[in-house]
Amino acid sequence: GLVNQVVSQLIQAIRSQEGSFGSIERLGAGSYYEHVKISEPNEFDIMLVMPVSRLQLDECDDTGAYYYLTFKRNPKEKHLFKFLDEDGKLSAFKMLQALRNIIKREVKNIKNAEVTVKRRKAGSPAITLQIKNPPAEISVDIILALEVQQSWPPSTQDGLKIEQWLGRKVRGEFRNKSLHLVAKQNKKEKVLRGNTWRLSFSHIEKAMMNNHGSSKTCCESDGPKCCRKGCLKLLKYLLEQLKMKYTKQLEKFCSYHIKTAFFHSCVMWPNDTDWHLGDLDHCFQKYLGYFLDCLQKSELPHFFIPRYNLLSLEDKASSDFLSRQINYQLNNRFPIFQE
């Protein structure tokens, strides 16, 4: 409730600024909104989505995930021209900076809560708010996304292999949804100019999470229940606990790795009968086995962009480290779950 109040007030202020962000809409993303949050609801991701008519997308590396954006001829969005860099590319950095400034001004006007804006982390797509909520703090990541009504780029062509799991029709519906791009710095760039954008599929991920059965009634109020989300929560919790213990060694890993492996597992075991509620233990071991396999090979393809490997070979040492920690837990009946 507190988060909603604060965010609503911010969005109102952002929209009322001259022109630039007037059309922004809110989209709840991340684990809280997918109902797979595992600990206290003290972290929220809020996407602010801004519709843009048409953009020229140019890949800026070989992952197929990062793009330079330029406007096509005579765009409607003249008000965004001030965010172009000297090459005419839409600068994620400039847009985030402008948004951050509005938010910094507005938090001073929030009466019913103590809200501060955290310092900018280099290359992070988020503007992070800290909301004092005694005895704890709530952190809210505000992420700027552009919503473009055009077809998905070629790099996504062979991704989203859900035909056997959710059906060909659903895949078609998903691929007809608009394209989202978040203001995310591509670390591979030699000179970090802050003008790269990364494809984002959190709107599709949320839809898959919330309708995850091959039968249409899986986990609905009167439908049969499965253990898919239970497995995901367990592995997320395992990683979270290990990251708390070995922060430095595991800094490369995040819950997105777990979620990607989860989607691949849903494709490998597409039927609801593969995920019987009573088989949680067995299903978790299968899913964990797949994830360990990915770590061993240093290979976890992005679910929507298959040629984008989320576990690069240069991070082999941390993959091996995580693999050893998980195997230790597995062979000793997960002491970390008892702690």
| pLDDT above 80 (res 17) | no
Cβ–Cβ under 8 Å, residues 328 and 253? no
Average pLDDT over every residue of 15-41? 74
190 shares its domain with 261: no
291 shares its domain with 196: no
Of 173, 203, 233, the last residue of a domain is 203
Place of tokens 């959190």: 202
236 shares its domain with 129: no
Of 170, 203, 236, the last residue of a domain is 203
198 shares its domain with 311: no
168 shares its domain with 131: yes
Q: What is the pLDDT of residues 210-246, one digit of tens each?
A: 899 998 889 988 889 999 999 999 999 999 999 999 9
Number of domains in the chain: 2
Closest CA to 42 of 144, 133, 142, 143: 133
Q: What is the CATH number of the domain that holds 281?
A: 1.10.1410.40
Q: Please give the Cα distance from 165 to 214 (Å, whole number).
A: 5
Average pLDDT over every residue of 33-55? 80
Of 172, 203, 234, the last residue of a domain is 203
84 shares its domain with 168: yes
210 within domain boundaries: no
Q: Select the more confidently predicted residue: 225 or 75.
A: 225
Q: What is the CATH number of the domain that holds 109?
A: 3.30.460.90
147 shares its domain with 277: no
242 within domain boundaries: yes
Indicate the pLDDT class of residue 301, thresholds 50, 70 and 90.
very high
Average pLDDT over every residue of 45-56? 90
125 shares its domain with 224: no
190 shares its domain with 229: no
252 shares its domain with 183: no
Q: What is the pTM of this model?
A: 0.92
Q: What is the pLDDT of residues 159-202, one digit of tens each?
A: 999 999 999 999 999 999 999 999 887 777 655 667 899 999 99
> Which domain, by its residues, includes 248?
215-337
Query: Tokens at residue 166, please?
Result: 């959710």
> What integer pLDDT is reported at residue 221 of this predicted model?
83
289 shares its domain with 142: no
Q: Report the range of poorest mean pLDDT among 108-122, 252-266, 310-324.
A: 108-122
209 within domain boundaries: no
